[in-house]
Amino acid sequence: MKALDTWERVLLALIVAVYVGFGTGIDGFLSPYAVADSTYNVSEKALIALAMALLVVAGEIDLSIAATMALASLAMGFAMKAGAPLPVMLAVAAATGAACGALNGWLVTRWKLPSIVVTIGTLSLYRGLAQVVLGDQAITGYPETLSTWGNGSVGDVIGVPWLIVPIEFAVLLVAALAVGLFLHRTVHGRRLYAIGANPVASRFSGIAVDRYRFGLFVFAGLMAALAAVLLTGRIGSTRPNLAMGWELDAVTIVILGGVAIEGGRGSIVGTVLAAVLLGSFTFALGMLNVSGIVMSMIVGALLIGAMVLPRGVRHLRTRFA
Amino acid sequence: MTKSPTPMRREWLLLGIIVLLALAVGARAPVFLTWRNALDIGNDSAILAILVMGQMLVLLTRGVDLSVASNLALTGMLCALAAKAWPALPLPVLVLMACAIGAGLGFVNGFLIMRFQLPAIVVTLGTMSAYRGAIFVASGGAWVNDHQVHPAIKGLPRDTLFGLPMLIWCAAAVVVLALVLLRWRREGRELYALGGNPSAALYAGIPVSRRLVMAYTLCGALAGLAGLLWVGRYSIAFTELAAGYELTVIAACVIGGVSIGGGVGTVSGAVLGVLFIGVINGALPVIQVSPFWQQAIAGAVILVSVVLNARADRSRGRQILERPAAALQGASA
């Protein structure tokens, strides 16, 4: 898999266009601080999008991933209320995420159910449980460290004030590197493509398809927990509607990143580029005072456009070739 | 299309569960078994039933329409705004307008899915947020409040005919039409064939693309009608109206035995699925369980019923994310 295929080049060009276009139009959009700021609202979404990309490449999907975030954040909050120290809180969040993912994976592999149905069900279940437990309350009072992880920059931590890369973005880069190496440079990654392209043939060629599927769902739960920790730290509270609707954003990032929804194709580079594109675009719209709901409308239109365009171009090419 | 192994038994089982549930709740709180409460549940379920009939047509073709709730809210808002701007509009025009707007939005889904051979879930995920945003653009973020909603719209679900509210009559009419379509009309039978085996359906001379667009357009039209009724019933229209309701609609379908893999499902089953959700939602406040439980219960019920379905027909597992090339092979050839 070449790192910069055609689609990735298109995404890069679009990112440049966004920065140049809005940079000339909006004062201060290109200042380093604004650029650093623009990564916040996308880092957590990109983390779950990475896991979603692996799932979609393998022909599965997890719509419950944002609801899993809410449950993980909730569990962390309860651990804190019970007086647990930070490492235990993190372990509880990770365990909750892994458990949610394991339930998805078990239902998909043990009962041979389509993941979309299972995760629509668990989306409702997890989000519902968060609502049952929290009602209209919120958990607040998280330790300062969490807030630093969510809001701080790498420079603050290592004592280099000019390094204003946000910690969240650094975490995303490390995670993207790890996931990218896994998908593109290991035999397990190659197998994910095989599973997505043809699960039956993969099974016949000796790949433990169900074990990979189960592992991917657990991984998605863990990434959701990681994103939940960062998001909770950044906003400093847990509410039942935490990360509401983010599954849609994650799927959008993945599709926009050139991953084929039917499985078997796609790259991590594309996913990360799509995340950056979406992040900078919505940040620019935010600076222009465009309301959130209109942004999500534009994102929805982008999602459809990202799918229609390549097919339309291919269609034209075959017609005039 | 092969029939699911025991279609009748399944529906009787579901009916039995619903009756048992109602009796059990009634034993704790006799008020639950009164005619008045039954009417309440009927009223609450009517809009869901209309939406479920549309969603079922789409599910039969192996698709899914996640944009129904946004479609409902957008159509409801547009009708409310139109009635506010031109108070002289007669009710039939409003109803026609709701169906037409809804059908148009549904057609967009169907066209994108058919023409570019895109997966239904992603297209409707996109239009879901696009339509939702369009409400904000159309209304400028403002609410259409109780006193601004046209009296004709408010009256529509409330008027009674032979002792039953019009809302229930509307739902009944839609259910009967769906029954006729899916049981006796060629177009309806072709939907089953298309969902059961798309390539075989194509070779059998079924106009696959046209049926696909028809299913989404009808689903949209019903969502539009439901939008008008929703605005009338709750006499309010705002941007977040019915947000997330698409999950309830799909839950009702799945509970009623409509297979998400296409080609399997009956109108009676889907109606029972609606009743099941209606009884649960009606029962929770009566037995003093927090309404926050609604969503969690719906999720658990979806999971249990799909697992039960999977056990009933183990070999028929299909993926909705199946590659469109296989699903619609040769549609353009």
Taking all residues of chain B, what is their mean pLDDT, rounded to a whole number? 82
pLDDT at B3: 45
Chain B contact present for A293, CB below 8 A: yes
pLDDT at B1: 42
Q: Which of A104, A254, A293, A316 to mutate to test the interface with B (most CBs of B within 10 A)?
A: A293
Chain A contact present for B121, CB below 8 A: yes
pLDDT at B7: 53
User: Model confidence at B75, in pLDDT bands (50, 70, 90)?
Assistant: very high
Low-confidence ranges of chain A (pLDDT < 50): 1
CB atoms within 10 A of CB B73: 26
Q: Which residues of A touch B137 (CB under 8 A)?
A: 294, 297
Q: How many CA atoms lie within 13 A of A132 on its CB side?
A: 17
Render pLDDT for B246-289 as a digit per residue (tens, 0 to 9).
888 888 888 888 888 778 888 998 999 999 989 888 888 877 78
Compare CB distances from A124 to B117, B298, B307 and report the shortest one's residue: B298
End-to-end CA distance of chain B: 24
Domain that holds residue B245: 7-327
Compare CB distances from B136 to A123, A252, A291 and report the shortest one's residue: A291
Tokens of B9: 């038994």
Cα-Cα-Cα-Cα dihedral of A5, A319, B62, A293, to 10°? 60
Instruction: Say if CB B242 and CB B73 are below 8 A apart.
Output: yes
The residue count of chain A comes to: 321
pLDDT at B6: 52
Contact B130 A301 (CB under 8 A): yes
Chain A contact present for B123, CB below 8 A: yes
Per the listing, tokens 């295929």 go with A5
DSSP letters, B205-236, are T--HHHHHHHHHHHHHHHHHHHHHHHHHHHT-
Chain B contact present for A303, CB below 8 A: yes
Average pLDDT over residues B3-14: 66
Q: Where are the domains of chain A?
A: 6-313
Q: Has residue B332 been placed in a domain?
A: no
Compare CB distances from A132 to B128, B134, B296 and report the shortest one's residue: B296
| Bridge partners for B144 per DSSP | B237
Chain B contact present for A299, CB below 8 A: yes
Render pLDDT for B133-173 as a digit per residue (tens, 0 to 9).
888 888 887 788 777 777 777 777 777 777 778 888 888 89
**Cα–Cα separations (whole angstroms), residue B164 to A40, B46, B157, B234, B280:** 54, 12, 10, 18, 22
Q: Could you say which architecture CATH assigns to the domain A6-313? A: Orthogonal Bundle (1.10)
Q: Which residue of A has its CA nearest to B305?
A: A121
Tokens of B190: 């072709």
Q: Which residues of B touch A117 (CB under 8 A)?
A: 254, 260, 302, 306, 320
Contact B292 A131 (CB under 8 A): yes
Contact A262 B119 (CB under 8 A): yes
Instruction: Say if CB A165 and CB A154 are below 8 A apart.
Output: yes
CB atoms within 10 A of CB A59: 26
Is the ipTM higher than 0.90? The answer is: no
Render pLDDT for B89-106 as a digit per residue (tens, 0 to 9).
888 888 899 999 999 999
Residue B227, class by beta-carbon neighbours within 10 Å (0-12 exposed, 13-18 middle, 19+ buried)?
A: buried
Residues 239-258 of chain B whose Cβ lies under 8 A from any Cβ of chain A: 239, 247, 250-251, 254
User: Model confidence at B325, in pLDDT bands (50, 70, 90)?
Assistant: very low
End-to-end CA distance of chain A: 26
pLDDT at A53: 96
Residues 126-165 of chain A whose Cβ lies under 8 A from any Cβ of chain B: 126-129, 131-132, 135
User: Model confidence at B237, in pLDDT bands (50, 70, 90)?
Assistant: confident
Render pLDDT for A201-242 as a digit per residue (tens, 0 to 9).
999 999 999 999 999 999 999 999 999 999 999 998 998 888
Residues 204-263 of chain A whose Cβ lies under 8 A from any Cβ of chain B: 248, 251-252, 255, 261-263
DSSP letters, B108-146, are HHHHHHHHTT--HHHHHHHHHHHHHHHHHHHHTT--B-G
Q: Which residue of A has its CA nearest to B123?
A: A304
Q: How many domains does chain B have?
A: 1
Q: Which residues of B touch A114 (CB under 8 A)?
A: 260-261, 317-321
Q: Which of B55, B74, B303 to mutate to test the interface with A (most CBs of A within 10 A)?
A: B303
User: Model confidence at B315, in pLDDT bands (50, 70, 90)?
Assistant: very low
Chain B contact present for A309, CB below 8 A: no
Q: Has residue B333 been placed in a domain?
A: no
Chain B contact present for A300, CB below 8 A: yes
Ramachandran angles phi, psi of B161, nearest 5°: -135, 120
Distance between CA B145 and CA B327 in Å, rounded? 45
Distance between CA A285 and CA B14 in Å, rounded? 50
Which of residues B292 and A106 earns the better pLDDT score?
Answer: A106
Closest-CA distance of chain A to residue B173, Å:
29
Q: Which residue of B has its CA nearest to A309?
A: B116
Q: Which of B241, B302, B321 to mutate to test the interface with A (most CBs of A within 10 A)?
A: B321
CB atoms within 10 A of CB A292: 12
Query: Which of the residue ranges A154-158, A198-202, B110-114, B181-185 would you say has the lowest mean pLDDT?
Result: A154-158
Contact B126 A304 (CB under 8 A): yes
Chain A contact present for B292, CB below 8 A: yes
Sign of CA dihedral B298, B304, B306, B312: negative
Q: Which residue of A has its CA nearest to B248?
A: A124
- Pairing type for strands A237-238 and B164-165 reads unpaired
Instruction: Say if CB A217 and CB A101 are below 8 A apart.
Output: yes
pLDDT at A5: 65
Average pLDDT over residues B182-208: 87
CATH number at residue B89: 1.10.3470
Q: Has residue B2 been placed in a domain?
A: no
Q: How far is CA A212 from the centre of its chain?
A: 19
User: Model confidence at B332, in pLDDT bands (50, 70, 90)?
Assistant: very low
Contact A311 B292 (CB under 8 A): no
Render pLDDT for A107-150 as a digit per residue (tens, 0 to 9).
999 988 888 889 988 998 999 999 999 888 899 989 888 888 88
Closest to A105 (Cα-Cα) out of A219, A194, A192: A219
Q: Which residues of B touch A261 (CB under 8 A)?
A: 119, 121-122, 321
Q: 3-class DSSP state for residue B165? A: strand
User: Could you write out the three-class secondary structure of chain A?
Assistant: CCCCCHHHHHHHHHHHHHHHHHHHHCCCCCCHHHHHHHCHHHHHHHHHHHHHHHHHHCCCCCCCHHHHHHHHHHHHHHHHHCCCCHHHHHHHHHHHHHHHHHHHHHHHHHCCCCHHHHHHHHHHHHHHHHHHHHCCCCEECCCHHHHHHHHCEHHHHHCCCCCCCEHHHHHHHHHHHHHHHHHHHCHHHHHHHHHHHCHHHHHHCCCCHHHHHHHHHHHHHHHHHHHHHHHHHHHCEECCCCCCCHHHHHHHHHHHCCCCCCCCCCCHHHHHHHHHHHHHHHHHHHHCCCCHHHHHHHHHHHHHHHHHHHHHHHHHHHHHC
Closest-CA distance of chain B to residue A176, Å:
24
pLDDT at A219: 97
Q: 3-class DSSP state for residue B88? A: coil
Ramachandran angles phi, psi of B174, nearest 5°: -65, -40
Q: Which residues of A touch B121 (CB under 8 A)?
A: 61, 116, 261
Which of residues B29 and B316 earns the better pLDDT score?
Answer: B29
pLDDT at A270: 93
Q: Which residues of A touch B292 (CB under 8 A)?
A: 128, 131-132, 135
Contact B129 A114 (CB under 8 A): no
Sign of CA dihedral A34, A35, A36, A41: positive
Quote the crossing angle between the two packed helices A40-57 and A167-185, to the nearest 10°.
20
Q: Which of B108, B132, B304, B323 to mutate to test the interface with A (most CBs of A within 10 A)?
A: B323
